[in-house]
Each structure stands twice: as structure tokens, then as C-alpha cells.
Structure 1
Amino acid sequence: MYSFPSKPPIPIYTSEHSGAAGPKGSQPFTITQSEGALVYEEDLLIPHRKAYYLLVFVKQNQGRHWVDMTSYERKNRTLYFTAPHQILVKEAPTPFWGTYLTFTNEFLTLQQNAALRELPLILNPHNGHELLLSDADWTFVEEMLAKLSAEYQRPGEWQHRMLTAYLTVLLTYLSRLYTEQFTGGELSADQLLLQTYRARIEESFRELHEVSAYAEQLHISAGHLSEVVKAQSGRPAIKHIHERLVLEARRLLFYTPLALKEIAFDLGFSDASYFNRFFKREVGVTPAEYRSSIRKMYH
């Protein structure tokens, strides 16, 4: 399928690595349209992360790509979205018709953009990647992308506010579709708390391994957080932390040749033997056994 990189760590690309049809230069926000360009960037054909959120609105494109350990056959009139922590790899360059939209964590931390961070599409509690769009959805999306693209080409005092306004409408619309596709409806206050908890785990899972640490960040008691998370997800709050650690461990075991002790240290374990026991308890096999079996499966 593809070769594994010879040297760690997994590279992290800024927007200047987005391909021939993609945005150039490392910028907090970019939008680029392509009309059949052959997107080829050798670095994208090896496992990598992107240092930004990427929304790819596919009007027409064929081929297959991977997000973490899942493959996707690209569909027309579909949105593919990824966050900075996910590991991506393309299998081959193919002509692309559609639009790339990127923005960084720094862009989302600006005061006028803060509300965007809480949208379901950005929090992505279901770890989704593919959002199917109806004809009506695609028409709406194309109109908003046209407005964003026109404003992007018009620097000036009001540009950032206009970009934020259009982006807010677009991401809010897509978040409604996200909740319909992945949950079947609007979110309650408790469901939003679960989303926020998962988002905080995403930000700090390497450093914080206890539920109480996240409860402190959210200014609620650990008991209340545990109760809501268990009721909404069916799993204990600590399990969400453990699942995120296991996901990252799986990524590193699959995509890199890092030694087990290096992976343990990267994930915040001071003792490699404890990491080994933790992984076996959660997965059922040791990290070494998992690495051997998963690579045999995909080769």
C-alpha cells in the first residue's frame, strides 16, 4: 500500500505543503479553488499530520486516502474534514475539482472566532471525517465558498470580520448536518458538556491522565463530570482518556518505528513497563504484538 517512514517523528506540514492546488505559505486562514489540477506532493504520500484544520469540498475527484487507520474512497459532492492531530496519507495523485479551506488553532483562538471552537464539526466528538451533502446542501455550500473566496481576495480593514461572518455561517450549517448524520438531532446541554470534555482531552491527553484535572479546567466537580459523561456516552469518563491514549499509541505503533519506551514517554508515561501493562489491559495484546499484527494486516 505504502512504505513506512524511515525516521521519526511523523512530519507535521503547514499550509505551504498542501499541494499544487492548495494554499501557499503558512497562514491562519486560506481558501483555494481547483479546477482539475493534478494535486501531487510527494510528502503527502507518506503518513503525516497537518498543522491546521482542513476542509476539502470535493466537487469531483477519484482515489483513496487514509485517516488514521481507516481508508476512504473519495465521493463527489462530499466534504472531507480533518483536525491537526489526525494522521493522513494519500495513495496516489489525482485530478481535483473543488475547494480547500484551511484555518489554524491560532485563528480559532482569536476573540471574534472563539465561538467556532465549540461547533460540533470542530469538536468532532464522533471522530468523523466524511460528511455527505445533498444537492441543496451542496448549492448552499458553493454559495458560501464563493463569498469566502471573493472576500479572501479583497484585503482591507473589514476583511477579517467578513471572513469570520461567512465562515461562522458555513461551519454552523455544516455542524447541523454533522449532528444529523452522526447523532440524529440537536445537542442537549449534557451532550455539549461531553463534547467539550472530549475536546479538552484532545488538547491535553499527553499531560493530563485523570478526570479530576479536566473537571478543574471545566470548573465543575469530578463527580458531576463523571456522571454526565457516563450517562451520555455509556462509558466512564476515565475510559475516554484511556481511549485517546490508546488511539495515539496505535498511530505511533503503526506509522512510526519509534521504540516502545519513546512512545511511552511521548504519551506521558514515565515508566515504559507501566505503558506496556496499560496497553495490554486496554487492547488485549502488548504494544509489540499489536505492531507486528497490524503491519502484517496492511501489507
Structure 2
Amino acid sequence: MSEEKHIPVHNLTYQEFQLTTLENGHPENFNDVHRHNFFEILWFKEVKDDSHLELDFENYHLKSNHICIIAPGQVFNMKLRGEKGYVFAISREIFQEICDVELILTNGAAPFFPDYESRKNCQGIIKLLEDEYHRNCRMNLIKAYLKAFCIIITEDLTSQEPLLHDKQRIQKLITLIDTYYITQKETRFYAEKLSISAHHLNDIVRISRGTTVKKMIAQRLLLEAKRELSFGALTVKEVAFRLGFNDSSYFSRFFKKHSGYSPEQFKNMND
């Protein structure tokens, strides 16, 4: 039985791009745990004191002017309580044209604050987007506006990275981990792919992200394990084998070390 039978997958059915608002009848049903097969940008212009969303099992308290980017495959849940803001639903193909930040293409972006100048510029772009979307809907022009919007908001996300070359290596590392994390769990493999030493790669990761390559791989494994255990029909042993663990007891120790719960406890919590 596939896990899609347990996690509803929301699709972009007849358009490559949809622009709607949170307050004016957004077509997607937010009120369930679900995944997308597209990218979604949420700009929460006004929220309630207790507004929050859940993204890949992490709970985020929302504040006004938070922006969140949800990538395909991420597990998302939010109950709307009268929040106001914008929702962009963007096909994978268009998003890959307008955004070149691997970190976001792979993992989306948890709620973050653009600075005041960025918000002001983005508001002007959205006005242009709304006019074009509801009148002529010329996709080349819409893509240009979306690209401008993404450049502005992603600059805020990447401005803290130390060096451009190291930033590019980190983005490439994230993509490599997402591709190989089940079969390749050693730092040396990723260092060789990036043509640097394992020691140098760990230095870059430690300085720019405050962690290690091993921990990044472990967090990616843990996330997939949580997805499978929460919504899939697989047993703990089946999840262990699917994620490349030959010994289910070792998988259980790994899961508890990184989450604080045994796989069985976590599975029961989400039944």
C-alpha cells in the first residue's frame, strides 16, 4: 500500500501557476496533513496571536510578514483561522526556471522575515502579478515577475552565507544528500563528489551551518523515517530496510538517539 493513500497529495491540475489569497477562498484545503506535487509560496501578511503551521513535523509559530516556501514532497499542515496573505502555487518546471537556490529547490524554506525594503519591493511585484494574472495571464511576463520576487526573498535567505563558493558547495551537498542519503552515509563519498577533502567539507559545513555532514545525513534519514512511520503502511522493520538499515534494532537505536522516541512510540503518536 503506498503512502500516498495516507498522505493526501495536492496537485496543480489545470494551471502551471495559481495566485490566490488566504482570506478570499483559497482553493486548496489547508485543513489536513498533506503534500504537494508543486512548490508553494505563502506570504502571511496578517496573522493571529496563535497562528502556526507544521512543516515536516516541525511546528512554527507565525508572525505577520512571515514567508514560507513549501517544496514538493514536504509534509504540511495548517488550520486557517482568518489569516490574510498571498498564496502562489507554482509548478516544478516554472519554479526551477525562476529559482536557482538548491537549498530551496530541495528543502523549501521554513517561515522567515524579509527585511522592510524587500517587503516593499515584493508588494509592488505582487500588484503587477495580480493585474497580469487576472487580465492577460501572459506566462512569460508572469515568470519574469515571479523570478524578480524569488530573487528578492532568496537574497534575504542566502545573505548570511560566508563565501559564494562555499555557499554553492553547501547547496550542491544538500542536493547530493537528498539523492544518495539511503545508500551513502559516509562524509568521504560527498567530499569526493565535491572534489574536496572530507576535513575541508566538514569545516565548510560547520562554519556555515553549525553542524557536520554526518548530522545532515542523519537528519535527512530521520525526516524520511518520520514520514514513513507517520503516514505509511509499513512496519518499523520495513521502514528500516527501505532506508538502508540492514538491522532493524540498529535503526531503532538511531531513531531514538535523534528523535527521543522509539520508532514504535512515534508511530503510535501519529496513528
Q: TM-score, normalization: structure 1?
A: 0.71
- Say which of 66, 72, 76 aligns to 2:60: 72
Q: 1:140 to 1:202 in 2, by over 3 A?
A: same
What aligned pairs does 1:230-269 form with structure 2 within 5 A after superposition? 230-255=206-231, 258-269=234-245
Q: CA deviation at 1:32?
A: 1.3
More displaced stretch, 168-177 vs 228-237: 228-237
CA contact (8 A) 1:81 1:130 kept: yes
- Say which of 162, 168, 181 aligns to 1:205: 181
Matched, 1:102 2:89: yes
CA–CA separation in structure 1 for the residues paired with 2:181 and 2:9:
19
CA–CA separation in structure 2 for the residues paired with 1:226 and 1:51:
33
Q: What are the ranges of 5 or more consecutive residues in structure 2 without an aligned counterpart?
A: none
Q: 1:116 to 1:201 in 2, by over 3 A?
A: same
Aligned residue for 1:87?
Answer: 75
Code of the residue aligned with 1:59 in structure 2: it is K
What aligned pairs does 1:111-122 form with structure 2 within 5 A after superposition? 113=97, 116-118=99-101, 121-122=104-105
Aligned residue for 2:110?
Answer: 129
CA–CA separation in structure 1 for the residues paired with 2:114 and 2:203:
35
Code of the residue aligned with 1:30 in structure 2: it is F
CA–CA separation in structure 2 for the residues paired with 1:45 and 1:236:
36
CA contact (8 A) 1:14 1:52 kept: yes
CA–CA separation in structure 2 for the residues paired with 1:223 and 1:168:
36
Matched, 1:45 2:31: yes
Matched, 1:141 2:86: no
Q: TM-score, normalization: structure 2?
A: 0.77
Q: 1:231 to 1:61 in 2, by over 3 A?
A: closer
Q: 1:94 to 1:31 in 2, by over 3 A?
A: same
Aligned residue for 2:7?
Answer: 10
Matched, 1:178 2:146: no
CA contact (8 A) 1:120 1:179 kept: no
Post-superposition CA distance 1:156-203 (Å, at most 9, x none): 5xx33x3333222211110122235xx4x6644223312321233234
Q: What are the ranges of 5 or more consecutive residues in structure 1 without an aligned counterpart?
A: 1-5, 16-24
CA contact (8 A) 1:47 1:255 kept: no
- Say which of 246, 251, 254 aligns to 1:278: 254
CA–CA separation in structure 2 for the residues paired with 1:248 and 1:275:
12
Matched, 1:228 2:216: no
Pairs aligned (count): 266
CA–CA separation in structure 2 for the residues paired with 1:284 and 1:59:
35
- Say which of 40, 44, 64 aligns to 1:54: 40
More displaced stretch, 227-236 vs 170-179: 227-236
Q: 1:167 to 1:188 in 2, by over 3 A?
A: same
CA–CA separation in structure 2 for the residues paired with 1:270 and 1:151:
54
SS across alignment from 2:223: helix
Aligned residue for 1:169?
Answer: 148
CA–CA separation in structure 2 for the residues paired with 1:237 and 1:35:
38
Code of the residue aligned with 1:80 in structure 2: it is C
Fraction of identical pairs, as percent: 25
CA contact (8 A) 2:106 2:178 kept: no
SS across alignment from 2:185: coil
Matched, 1:154 2:130: no
Code of the residue aligned with 1:174 in structure 2: it is I
Q: CA deviation at 1:47?
A: 1.7
Q: 1:285 to 1:41 in 2, by over 3 A?
A: closer
Post-superposition CA distance 1:95-118 (Å, at most 9, x none): 454321122333345xxx2x7232
